[in-house]
Amino acid sequence: MTPNALLKKLESNYGQMFQTIKMAYDEVNIEVCKASLVELMTKLRDEAGFEQLLDVSGVDYSAYGHLEWATVSATATGFSRGCQPIMLEGVKDEGARFGVSYHLLSLQHNVRLRVKVSVSEADVMVPSVTGVWSSANWHEREVFDMFGLIFVGHPDLRRILTDYGFIGHPFRKDFPVSGHVEMRYDEAKGRVVYEPVEIDPRVNVPRVIRDDNRYSSEVW
């Protein structure tokens, strides 16, 4: 089945459950509200042939489309990114700071599907899909750990990559690159101690302003 054929089939059968459906990067992308998530996922597994959940990933859209450096001319990607601040297509507003993306695979149809849910900062509760695919267990734990989104109905929702006493969620845009605390061994106390980090937050992307013949105004 081609992605375009899949799009038409899904739109015909389940279109009333979607907020949006479109093609992007040669894959079908569906956006659905949280209330319809589990019902839609169950139908995609049982009726549309999507046997596998490959991944669950979180997204923090705060400052999405903004660039670190405001320079006269530079590319908007890579190490030299940073021309005039711009807003890109698909920027989320204050009511939908976070997103959760589910990547599905249908072996029988040889096609992939991406399902997205928008999550506001005021309500970070998301229904768990562990009852639909057991493989969602660790994926949802990782999103919880890194982004702080709560998956309602998850059988064992706890941190998976950070320590139990870890403060904050490292993949949020407002989490400092250097973290909140640092650790060292205190010889006097004979143990490891945690102290407030002394490194000032800073942008780690190199600022590259090129000035060579590629940007010359002369006509060759």
Instruction: Give per-residue pLDDT as tens, 114-125.
Output: 999 999 999 999
Tokens of 23: 């093609």
82 pLDDT band, cuts 50/70/90, is: very low
Is 171 part of a structural domain of the chain? Answer: no
Give a yes or no: residue 186 inside a domain. Answer: no
* pLDDT above 60: residue 74: no
Whichever domain contains 44, its CATH number is 3.30.460.80
Paired tokens of 80:
């030299």
Percent share of the chain, pLDDT over 70:
77
The answer for residues whose C-beta is within 8 angstroms of residue 116's C-beta and 6 or more apart is: 29, 30, 31, 32, 99, 100, 101, 102
For the chain, how many structural domains are there in total?
1
On whether residue 178 sits in a domain, the answer given is: no
Paired tokens of 15 = 């279109």
pTM (predicted TM-score): 0.75
| Residue 201 scores a pLDDT above 70 | no
Measure the CA–CA gap between 10 and 18, rounded to whole angstroms.
9
Mean pLDDT within 70-82: 51
Q: Looking at the domain assignment, is residue 151 inside a domain?
A: yes
Query: What is the spatial distance between Cα 183 and Cα 193, in angstroms, rounded to a whole number?
Result: 6
Give me the chain's average pLDDT, please: 82
Highest mean pLDDT: which range of 19-23, 74-78, 191-195: 19-23
Q: Is position 90 within any domain?
A: no
| pLDDT value at 87 more than 50 | no
- Whether 46 is in a domain gets the answer yes
Does a structural domain hold residue 115?
A: yes
Q: What's the average model confidence in pLDDT over 147-154? A: 96
Tell me what pLDDT residue 215 has: 53
Determine which of 11-20, 40-49, 87-96, 128-137 has the lowest per-residue pLDDT on average: 87-96
Residue with more model confidence, 33 or 95: 33
Give me the amino acid identity at 57. S
82 lies in some domain: no
Domain range enclosing 156? 3-62+97-163
